[in-house]
Amino acid sequence: MAWLFERTVEVAAWIAMAAAWVAAGLTVYGLVEFFRTWQTEAFSVSLLVDTGKVAGACVGFAVALGALACVDRFIYDADELGRK
């Protein structure tokens, strides 16, 4: 059962990493679009607000990835650390 839980933690970490990369890409895209339309009539502050929300999600996914990596390292790989 511990093996299954460890694999679940690893899959969750991979998903968090993929989500963080997607959110980072969307953040860059949103900022590029914001600055591209900055001096035009299509200027929208809501685009900057939405980009800030996505950037916050990227930070959240990165923190979740770090927490899952700590769980995997210090709970499941603790016996391997003691052998070295």
End-to-end CA distance of the chain: 26
**pLDDT for 43-52, tens place per residue?**
788 999 999 9
Q: Decide which of 2 and 40 is more confident.
A: 40
For all residues of the chain together, what is the average pLDDT? 89
DSSP class of residue 77 equals S
Nearest in space to 16 (alpha carbons), one of 74, 48, 62? 62
Q: What is the mean pLDDT of residues 2-8?
A: 85
Q: 23 exposed, middle or buried (CB, 10 Å; 0-12, 13-18, 19+)?
A: buried
Is the pLDDT at 1 greater than 80, yes or no? no
